[in-house]
Structure 1
Amino acid sequence: MKSARRAEIRDLVSRSFANARPHAPRVAPDGRRLAWLEERGGTDAILVRRISGGPVQQLTATIEPVTDLAWSPDGRAIAYLTGTSLRIARLRGGDALLAEHAAGLSQPRWSPDGKSVAVISRARGWGQIVLVPLGKEPLKQLPEAITPSGVDVISYDWHPSGEEVIWEASRDERDGNLVQLTISRTSGEPMERVVAGADCWATGGRWLPNGKDIIAADDRSGFFHVVCLSVDGLRREIDPVSADDVLASNAPDEVPVPSPDGLHVAFLRYETGGCSVQVRRIADGNDSVGHRLDPFPGNWSSLSWLPDSSSLLATGQSEAEPEDIWVLPLHGAARRITDSAPLVLPTPPAPPVVVSLTARDGLPLHGLLFLPRGASATTKVPTMVNGHGGPTWQFLRSWDPLVRSILEAGYAYLTIDFRGSTGYGRDFRYALHDEWGHGDVHDLVDGARWAEQQPWSDGRFGVIGGSYGGYLTLCALVDEPELWAVGVDRYGDSDLAMSYRLGDRPGRLDVERQMGRPDDPEKAPLYRRASPIFATEKIQAPLLMLHGKKDKRVVPRMTEIMARQMEIEGKHHEIVWFDNEGHGWERRENQRLAAEKTLDFLIAHLPPTA
């Protein structure tokens, strides 16, 4: 690649990261104001503005990024999390510490009467709900939890009366794939009542205003569907039964959300490479809106309702649209209320093509293919194959400056939703059990073999991914060494058993749910097969590794030992460390640097055709 063209690509990378990403929108109880998170001065801060427009107020300026926020019922204050602290910021001035704990806190939720804030705490080793009362002085010790030890709460919701909460957790020691919804009292004599999930995965319980029924999603049919549950256990499906998944995520912002008037439910439905915003009438499941609400196909998330139930608030993005906050009326045109688009960028890439192929063992696979401009039978291009993170996730179309830059540089970009991905039903998710680093890697390789036969392919391939996708990069370089010309591993595992012992609890439970425990004699051989560190000598391609030194999910030790083995075997490798990052890059400057280092490495070891 000529130096002038290389400079153009670097400039594209820099401009793509020019503006911060607005996310985690929260509408005020009066429906007039909006709070969200956006980077300011190198760290995420709370911004507040009227939904109709006007000046933006920066409410926080903390050293550590704000990670979550919640409006008080009276709309005068916002509870938020930063570092290990739960704090309250008042809109008219003043900021106070409520509680803190070194183990970390998550998901602040005000009680309906505004007298306390609930959070999930790991102070006692498990993810438990504690109620932090508002007081003049911060708590020196967290109160006793209202949920039991021995289970990790994933998400929860207050009952309208404030007397109960419904919470989601895996409670079956024999099968971590059975996720249940349980109701507990917030005071008085302890009480627990399981209302869903005894025979399936139930997620996202949210109370209806009547306090008697619950909106959730479960996979009893083999695919996730929206259901209405009564407290006595009755179940009714709301969305039509089909071979499609409601987006199955444990994230609180991704679950089905009932409207404040109790008439409708909004949810995300997965479509290969994206998800759409759907609304159904709770009473009969009919689509009274008559169309999907998202104004463009892509990745939608963070659904919430305006208090009058007339509109939804959501974030949306695609390869052509940067992430922004939108108002989506039930009837009428969608309206963008933030604008994070860089001022000048080249023509956006063409929409991806949905790819379908068959794995070597007969399993149907799907993915997305992005082609650079000009790719054809006469202008062939190299291909980067991507494995997504998770693994219980899927690739979603998003505003990704790295992918845009890779396409602009002249590479095709192929994503494969390997076995274990969400969006294709329970059997497809379970197909990864005991198959980490094996069946999933074969799926990526089979995707590359499919691409190899396409008229636009020049037969050269690289593999790239982050988190679980970074781990798959290492596994692919070992499994099919002659196929790859280059590999890019972003904070991926190298020794699965060691990572199980050293990583954080949520990551450990995820591995255990699908692979069992490494100290089980029957599972130990599977853990070794799943660990590329033991076959480093097979790697032929140059390898770039990028990792944050504060990573608790995949500890930096994973990259350190992989680099050591590469050095022993005389294999070409480079490492980029980020001192102030954890599992992924939060700061735009680091995102930009990681993208630049990745592009430089690709161009050096897998030069584009032109």
Structure 2
Amino acid sequence: MALDIVRLLELTGWRAFDVDDHGRVLAGSDESGSVQLVELAGGERTELTALPGAVAGRYLPGERAVVVQHDSDGNERTQLSLLRLDRTGPAALADLEPLVDDPDHVHRLLDVLPGRIVYATNRRNGVDFDVVLRSATSPEEHVLYDGGGMVGEVAVSPDSRYAALTVPAEPALSDQVLLADTMPETEADALRELTGRRERARNLHLDWLPGASGLVVTSDHERDRTAVALLDPRTGERRPLVTSEEHDLSASPSPDGTTLLVHTNDDGAGKLALHDARTGAHRCDVELPGAGWCASPLPAPAWSPDSRFAALSFSSPTSPGDVLLVEAATGRCRPLTFSAAQLAGENAVEPSSHAIPARDGAAIPCFRYAPQDPDGSAVVIIHGGPESQSVRAFNPIVQALVGRGHTVLVPNVRGSTGYGKRWYSADDTRDRLESVADLADLHAWLPSIGVDPGRVALWGGSYGGYMVLAGLAFQPELWAAGVDIVGISSLESFLRNTADYRRAHREREYGSLSADIDFLREASPLNRVSAISAPLFVIHGANDPRVPLSEAEQVVAAVREKGLECELHVYPDEGHGLAKRQNRLHAYPKALDFLARHLAT
């Protein structure tokens, strides 16, 4: 029997946030309808929070307490609070102790240390993010970095002397590594560049080795694929530890500096292994459940302070999401949750992988989900980002569409990560429409697998929503319908109206309002609405700080003025996407029914 969308949306998924020395795991579960904190210990599950929206958290080392990160109705102005674990029952907002409480600004938890937290905040001017070290027991704070702009990752050395951080470099999807010294000999020593501002390279997953002797970093400096390297904090020199010419690698070192948990990204599937942190030598593979791989890229694993355990988030096309616990000494992997059991006896579909030929000889990576009884129609689902990757993870929308007889394609068009620097750079700024042209190449391939080219729809969220609108506007003869979720309709108005702190960051990818306004207008679907001929279904959160609601409203008004069918569903308690199950249960069945009508024979 085909899986029903309501049944799929009601499945519970899990993810790992942290683990302590006793093997207790701080996990997230969406059983209540949004992600709440749960502790997994000794086979028992203890609900820790019952907040209005989705939350995240970390243990405060050495104490029975959790630092909770939470916002209001998806507005992404996250606040930080302390939850003592000596209480009973799940905590409401009134049960939390405020740590960083300023609802007008964003406060993002970056790291936890004994008695202290590290967070980023834009409260100074609403635009630039400062990095702050704060006591967990008093208002005492120390600013580690206030150099302006966005801040990506921060790693504070165990003695709190140094903070390594990443900020956007000048090229798109590039990161510069800076070193902040909390006790500099001179003012000039307070902040040093470890990598160049103009360097085209990703620098991710910063972690200190003991004694601040080195930084483990995932980087594609002078490479097409990311590798695991050791970065010298004194000289900036990088020494490769684990490399691959075929796959992107990333790693997380244990706190004691002996072990690397290395993740290999193999076409959206992840494989794990333990390596020696000093030499990079392989120790053993980590045997994962099921098919032996998980969704890639993997959320950063959490190590216990004593380096005995690593907690992982796991997903596959037939597993909604689970928590795994890895023993560092042996590589033994033990599942703590069993989400796949919810699908026992159901017809969940695994994808096949394809390299679809493009117009210029390139190959577009793509997953194909084939129904048992195909009806000849297809839906192409495009990921957001654009600097992201469609992976082999559970997706209730995919499984529901397949259950209704639609063939589903999930591609990684130009601009996607996971396939090397050349591929993720192929859509930067004035090459934006190259990724849109990939949609036409995907469409041209569909008849070879028995799909009727006149019965193909587009579905996408965020940047994927832009791709839906661009496909309908630039290739109107190809697409029978579109579902746009929190998508960009005009690159110009998006950049003008997005949150102030995001504008400069996004201009690196899309082009700037000052230098590229002609192309931003040329590549905007809103300016080509006259060409759209397909019906449209639009979903948006009223509190979206990334892609403002106005992006949906303006394209809906323009499409309706043409006399085309266009549904708009706005959710007042959501932001950039639908985080609450009750809203997903309202929106997604309607979207699937919309596609069923317009893809029918």
What amino acid sits opposite 1:122 in the alignment? N
Of 15, 18, 40, the match for 2:10: 18
1:550 aligned onto 2:543: yes
1:572 aligned onto 2:571: no
SS in structure 1 of the partner of residue 527 of structure 2: helix
1:407 aligned onto 2:402: yes
More displaced 10-residue stretch of structure 1: 442-451 or 180-189: 180-189
In 2, are the aligned partners of 1:180 and 1:203 still within 8 Å (CA)? no
- 1:316 corresponds to: 314
- 2:238 corresponds to: 235
Distance 1:270 1:150 in 2: 33
In 2, are the aligned partners of 1:168 and 1:204 still within 8 Å (CA)? no
Deviation of residue 308 (structure 1)? 4.9
What amino acid sits opposite 2:246 in the alignment? A
- 1:266 corresponds to: 261
In 1, are the aligned partners of 2:25 and 2:311 still within 8 Å (CA)? no
- 1:37 corresponds to: 28
Unaligned runs of 5+ in 1: 1-7, 247-254
SS in structure 2 of the partner of residue 228 of structure 1: strand
Distance 2:301 2:105 in 1: 29
Matches within 5 A, 1:256-295: 256-290=251-285, 293=288
- TM-score normalised according to structure 2 size: 0.89
Distance 2:489 2:430 in 1: 15
- 1:63 corresponds to: 52
Matches within 5 A, 1:358-437: 358-375=357-374, 381-435=376-430, 437=432
SS in structure 1 of the partner of residue 144 of structure 2: coil
In 1, are the aligned partners of 2:269 and 2:391 still within 8 Å (CA)? yes
- 1:120 corresponds to: 120
- 2:90 corresponds to: none
Which whole-Å deviations, capped at 9, do the CAs of 1:467-521 have from their partners, x for residues lacking one?
111110000011111111111111101011111011124643343112321222x
SS in structure 2 of the partner of residue 269 of structure 1: strand
Task: Indicate how the Cα distance of structure 1 residues 535 and 489 shifts in structure 2: closer, same or farther if over 3 A, else same.
Answer: same
- 2:203 corresponds to: 202
| Aligned alpha-carbon RMSD (Å) | 2.4
In 2, are the aligned partners of 1:497 and 1:527 still within 8 Å (CA)? yes
SS in structure 2 of the partner of residue 357 of structure 1: strand
In 1, are the aligned partners of 2:269 and 2:392 still within 8 Å (CA)? yes
Matches within 5 A, 1:484-499: 484-499=479-494
Of 131, 140, 152, the match for 1:129: 131
Distance 2:502 2:446 in 1: 32
Identity %: 26
- TM-score normalised according to structure 1 size: 0.88
- 1:91 corresponds to: 85
Of 594, 602, 605, the match for 2:595: 602
In 2, are the aligned partners of 1:272 and 1:367 still within 8 Å (CA)? no
Distance 1:224 1:32 in 2: 31
What amino acid sits opposite 2:411 in the alignment? I
1:540 aligned onto 2:543: no
In 1, are the aligned partners of 2:446 and 2:452 still within 8 Å (CA)? yes
Which whole-Å deviations, capped at 9, do the CAs of 1:364-415 have from their partners, x for residues lacking one?
321111100134xxxx521111211100011012221111010000000012
In 2, are the aligned partners of 1:69 and 1:108 still within 8 Å (CA)? no
Task: Indicate how the Cα distance of structure 1 residues 312 and 109 shifts in structure 2: closer, same or farther if over 3 A, else same.
Answer: closer
Which whole-Å deviations, capped at 9, do the CAs of 1:85-136 have from their partners, x for residues lacking one?
3211111136311221221111252334x1x322110112212111222346
Distance 1:73 1:505 in 2: 34
Task: Indicate how the Cα distance of structure 1 residues 282 and 292 shifts in structure 2: closer, same or farther if over 3 A, else same.
Answer: farther
What amino acid sits opposite 1:390 in the alignment? G
Task: Indicate how the Cα distance of structure 1 residues 592 and 452 shifts in structure 2: closer, same or farther if over 3 A, else same.
Answer: same
Deviation of residue 526 (structure 1)? 1.0
Distance 1:95 1:494 in 2: 40
Distance 2:439 2:294 in 1: 23
In 2, are the aligned partners of 1:12 and 1:345 still within 8 Å (CA)? no
In 2, are the aligned partners of 1:383 and 1:460 still within 8 Å (CA)? yes
In 1, are the aligned partners of 2:446 and 2:453 still within 8 Å (CA)? no
In 2, are the aligned partners of 1:85 and 1:100 still within 8 Å (CA)? yes
Deviation of residue 351 (structure 1)? 2.0
In 2, are the aligned partners of 1:540 and 1:571 still within 8 Å (CA)? yes
